[in-house]
Amino acid sequence: MTFFIGMKKKITACTCKLLCIFLIGGLANVNAQNKDDIRIDALLRKMTLEEKVGQMAQITLDVIGKGKNRFASFEPFSLDTAAARKALVTYKVGSVLNTANNRARTTEAWFNIINGIQNIAVKETRLAIPVIYGVDAVHGVTYTAGATMFPQQIAQAATFNRSFVQKAAAITAYETRASGIPWNFSPILDLGADPRFPRQWESFGEDPYLVTELGKEMIKGYEGDKNATSNPEKVASCLKHFLGYQTPLSGKDRTPAYISDQALREYHLPSFKAAIDAGAHTIMVNSGIVNGIPVHSNKKILTDLLKNELGFKGLVVTDWGDIENLYHRDHIAKDDKDAIMIAVNAGIDMSMVAYNYEVFCSNLVALVKEGKVKEERINDAVRRILRVKYALNLFEKPVTNFKDYPKFGSKEFEKVSYDIAAESITLLKNNNSILPLKKEMKILVAGPNANSMRTLNGAWTYSWQGEKVEEFATAYSTIVKAVEDKIGKANVIYKPGVSYKTNGKYYEEIEADMNGTIEAAKNADAIILCLGENTYTETPGNLNDLYLSDLQTELAQKLAATGKPVILVLNEGRPRCISKFEDKMQAVVQAYLPGNFGGVALADILFGDVNPSGKLPYTYPRYPNAIITYYHKPSEERTKAEGVYDYDADYNPQYKFGEGLSYTTFQYSNLKLSTHQLKGKESLLITIDVANTGHREGKEVIQLYTSDLVASITPDVKRLRGFQKISLEPGEKRTISFSITADDVAFINAENKKVTEPGTFKIQIKDLTDTFTFDN
């Protein structure tokens, strides 16, 4: 807002009123922060060393549940008050997480559990500091029965729809609070650039800009526009996993990564920096090892970069048992005490101890008394913890009551989940416009994913690995049930051919009368073949071969040999290679992990009631040894050289990042730049016309890419710099505009500085290109 002093400019009463509201609101926020800081300082002065250290410990719920030991609880769950008093009163433990027995619970059960915990923490301790309870609610409230389960993050990324991501997060925040829980270990802002990794599906995909943009929307949904987490419908978010987690050399979880400082800053850091700037309250640390150093011990990353350079004022929490791992797994500490010293001095504020909290608390107290950890470091950690507790209004309202959340699991919320699933599903191939299918056709539905709610949802659904989904999701439709509802049961033949082994590992499969499935194809007009993966996450999801399994490949090849058109539906957490049979498929549809309404959304797309509009948020590899992102270097994609050494470099993805077909057609034209010579801090306006040239309404994602043609570090071939999703009626044309500055096309140079070097840049939208030059 600009004021003109000494000029003849009238400031209306309305303008003054708006200004006053703005200033009062801003002052209110500042005053609230100052008030909290005053209270925190006063509380810290009262706290003993033991009380401070206790705040830094987090335990899992089973530790304080009635059971044979602290690793499992009896069902139905009930608090062991003696165990709870030992943890919360004697050892002053400040945080609890997770569910008991890896099982979802009702909102009423959650209220009773957390209310019981808070009664002990608040009423039976000297300073009445409430516990902060945390949970992984990564696509809905994982451990709450009846919660709205959304498509997983990778599917949400495929929508390229910012508003949907924010809506899903806002609903998840509401339902998390309905469960009495104020802290959500989400969003996942890791760069999902390695298709081998068992958590790629938990990310927003391979592109730094896409991850950054959708991460900001998710934080806004969780925390609100002004991060007002005292609102009982909002939660504190937790950025995961700082830093460089999803790209280990082996592709396997929690194994070493080798990432240069330049690459860390260029590709991995932007999403976290933007999220910190957006006000996220907490952050979780990478469980792995980067450049030989476990991140939980890396002061350069946790303090120098995160807290000092990025200015993060929030709470830094470990992942599960990761301080212990410094000793037991990584062998950089001589014992548990040494590991605690290393991690806390590196910048850890709270240890997700999980089980053996006594070891953590007793050793950390001793380390401070011995001068090996300064009490100033403890005070800093506790101040950060208390700041989050005050921001969540836990001192005034330690637990929220499920009775105050009438929209929990509502049809309104379920509609949002369906809409996201419908916009995420991505049509990758459609030979001879085989899709949409006619509803009067006789359809064979086959494959291990055809009749499974578990595979539609993925892990972190009612349990950690997703193995309990069928127990909680009986009210929803599998793919085959949705197809039956769409075209009538009499028109559907269901013969899986391959099934997942009950209670087996995710990759264990059995033949399920494959010959009968092939025989059944004779009576079908078309085949919907539902292949992919069973559920997994983290280390249990590691793989040794990116090709789709042998049994599923055999089934696909044999069904294709029948001569009936095969529509391949992929229901998978990561892009498994299908090149052994892809050319025999008439259509390919990527469903990702679309959630409880994914079956219905998929059927609507297959039979034409919904026009697909999803776009790939990653590069789909053709071969296991060709896992290259779209923003690769020029040397990875070369035409054949001249002379004796006439090699080339083959960039050969099965499907490219950003691809996705529609049942209508779009025409791009009239690409214009406001200038071809960008200077200093000027903005460049880019416009393009997009028209729906088909015969039905459709949604399209307009994607803006730039290429730095010459740079001091070998530039990427292109980078996504903007995207917009629009809906167009048949014959409708719209002009879409983007604005970029020199900073938007900057890169991290060899000195790890962000720079925009003078030179020529290419703009690309679809197949249209233009260039501009930049000069300081």
pLDDT in tens, 132-146: 999 999 999 999 999
User: Which amino acid is residue 574, in one-letter code?
Assistant: R
Amino acid 754: pLDDT:
98
Omega before residue 634 within 30° of 0, cis: no
Task: Indicate the average pLDDT of the chain.
Answer: 95
Omega before residue 241 within 30° of 0, cis: yes
Token pair 């943890």 is found at: 87
Please give the distance of CA 28 from its chain centroid, rounded to a whole number: 33
Distance of alpha carbon 641 from alpha carbon 645, whole angstroms: 7
Residues 6 or more apart whose Cβ sits within 8 Å of residue 607: 436, 437, 438, 439, 486, 487
Summarised one tens digit per residue, pLDDT across range 71-124 is 999 999 999 999 999 999 999 999 999 999 999 999 999 999 999 999 999 999
For 721, phi then psi, to 5°, come to -120, -10
What are the structure tokens assigned to 355, written together? 């089980």
SS3 of residue 207 by DSSP: coil
Amino acid 14: pLDDT:
47
User: Which amino acid is residue 130, in one-letter code?
Assistant: P
Task: Say if residue 245's pLDDT is above 60.
Answer: yes
Distance of alpha carbon 599 from alpha carbon 583, whole angstroms: 25
Amino acid 8: pLDDT:
35
Residues 6 or more apart whose Cβ sits within 8 Å of residue 267: 191, 193, 208
Longest CA pairwise span in the chain (Å): 89
Distance of alpha carbon 718 from alpha carbon 332, whole angstroms: 40
User: Which amino acid is residue 490, in one-letter code?
Assistant: A
Distance of alpha carbon 715 from alpha carbon 747, whole angstroms: 9
Q: What are the CA-CA distances from residue 745 to residues 86, 130, 271, 760 (Å)?
A: 55, 46, 16, 11
Amino acid 31: pLDDT:
64
Task: Say if residue 16's pLDDT is above 80.
Answer: no
DSSP 8-state symbol, 710: S
In contact, 89 and 95? CB cutoff 8 Å: no
Nearest CA among 602, 617, 465, 624 for reference residue 529: 602
Amino acid 2: pLDDT:
33
Provide the total of helices (H) and of strands (E) in the chain, helices listed first.
21, 28
SS3 of residue 244 by DSSP: coil
Residues 6 or more apart whose Cβ sits within 8 Å of residue 168: 139, 140, 150, 156, 218, 221, 416, 417, 420
**Residues with active-site annotation:** 319
Distance of alpha carbon 728 from alpha carbon 691, whole angstroms: 7
Amino acid 11: pLDDT:
38
Positive or negative, the Cα torsion across 331, 332, 335, 340? negative
- pTM of the complete model beyond 0.75: yes
